[in-house]
Structure 1
Amino acid sequence: MARSALMSPSKLSKIENAKLAPSATDVERILTAIGVSNEVKAEYTEAARASATEATAWRLLKRIGVHKGQQAAKALEAQMSTLRLFQPALVPGLLQTPEYIRAVLKRHNLSEDALTRTINGRLERQAVLYDSTKSLQFVITEPVLRWRTVPPQMLAAQLDRIASISRLPHVDVRVVPLAIQQHDIANHAFVIRDDHMVTIETVHAEVVVTDPRDVGLYVDKFNGFAAVALAGDRMRSLLEDIRNDFLREQETG
Structure 2
Amino acid sequence: MNRAQLGAALRALRQASGKEAKAVARGALMSPSKLSKIENAKLAPSATDVERILIAIGVSPEIKAEYTEAARSAGTETTEWRLLKRVGVHKGQLEVKALEAQMSALRMFQPALVPGLLQTPEYIRAVLQRHDLSDDTVARTISGRLERQAILYDSSKSLRFVITEPVLRWRIVPPPMMAAQLDRIVSVSRLSHVDIRVVPLGIQQHDVANHSFAIRDNRMVTVETVHAEVLVTDPRDVDIYVKKFNGFARVALSGDDMRSLVEGIRDDFLREQETG
Shorter-chain TM-score range: over 0.9
**Are residues 1:139 and 2:162 paired?**
yes
**Secondary structure of the structure 1 residue equivalent to 2:77:** strand
**Are residues 1:236 and 2:259 paired?**
yes
AA of the residue aligned to 1:199: T
Whole-angstrom CA distance in 2 between matches of 1:224 and 1:27: 31
The question of whether the paired residues in 2 share the 8 Å contact of 1:140 and 1:176 is answered with yes
Give the match for residue 71 of structure 2: 48
Q: TM-score, normalised by structure 2?
A: 0.90
Give the match for residue 200 of structure 2: 177
Give the match for residue 30 of structure 1: 53
Give the match for residue 154 of structure 1: 177
The question of whether the paired residues in 2 share the 8 Å contact of 1:24 and 1:52 is answered with no
Larger deviation: 33-42 or 51-60?
33-42
Give the match for residue 123 of structure 1: 146
Whole-angstrom CA distance in 1 between matches of 2:29 and 2:269: 43
**Are residues 1:164 and 2:177 paired?**
no
The question of whether the paired residues in 1 share the 8 Å contact of 2:199 and 2:252 is answered with yes
Instruction: Report the alpha carbon displacement of residue 18 of structure 1 after superposing the two structures with TM.
Output: 3.2
Instruction: Report the alpha carbon displacement of residue 20 of structure 1 after superposing the two structures with TM.
Output: 2.6
AA of the residue aligned to 1:160: D
Runs of 4+ in 1 over 3 A off after TM superposition: none
**Are residues 1:4 and 2:27 paired?**
yes
**Are residues 1:69 and 2:69 paired?**
no
The question of whether the paired residues in 2 share the 8 Å contact of 1:85 and 1:139 is answered with yes
What RMSD over aligned residues (CA atoms) do the two structures have, in Å? 0.9
**Equivalent in 85, 88, 93 of residue 111 of structure 2:** 88
Instruction: Report the alpha carbon displacement of residue 2 of structure 1 after superposing the two structures with TM.
Output: 1.5
The question of whether the paired residues in 1 share the 8 Å contact of 2:44 and 2:77 is answered with no
Give the match for residue 18 of structure 1: 41
Whole-angstrom CA distance in 2 between matches of 1:65 and 1:19: 20
Question: Which one has a bigger Cα radius of gyration?
Answer: 2
AA of the residue aligned to 1:154: M
**Are residues 1:112 and 2:142 paired?**
no
Whole-angstrom CA distance in 2 between matches of 1:221 and 1:19: 34
Whole-angstrom CA distance in 2 between matches of 1:19 and 1:104: 33
Deviations 1:115-148 (A, max 9, x none): 1111111111111111111000000000000000
Give the match for residue 272 of structure 2: 249
Larger deviation: 35-44 or 150-159?
35-44
AA of the residue aligned to 1:101: I
**Are residues 1:210 and 2:233 paired?**
yes
Instruction: Report the alpha carbon displacement of residue 19 of structure 1 after superposing the two structures with TM.
Output: 3.1
AA of the residue aligned to 1:244: D
Whole-angstrom CA distance in 2 between matches of 1:251 and 1:176: 28
**Are residues 1:186 and 2:222 paired?**
no
**Are residues 1:58 and 2:64 paired?**
no
In structure 1, stretches of 5+ residues that fail to align are: none
Whole-angstrom CA distance in 2 between matches of 1:83 and 1:52: 20
Instruction: Report the alpha carbon displacement of residue 21 of structure 1 after superposing the two structures with TM.
Output: 2.7
Q: TM-score, normalised by structure 1?
A: 0.98
Deviations 1:209-232 (A, max 9, x none): 000000000000000000110111
**Secondary structure of the structure 2 residue equivalent to 1:185:** coil
Whole-angstrom CA distance in 1 between matches of 2:171 and 2:85: 25
Whole-angstrom CA distance in 2 between matches of 1:238 and 1:107: 28
What count of residue pairs does the alignment treat as equivalent?
Answer: 253
Give the match for residue 16 of structure 2: none
Whole-angstrom CA distance in 2 between matches of 1:26 and 1:249: 48
Instruction: Report the alpha carbon displacement of residue 103 of structure 1 after superposing the two structures with TM.
Output: 0.4
AA of the residue aligned to 1:54: E
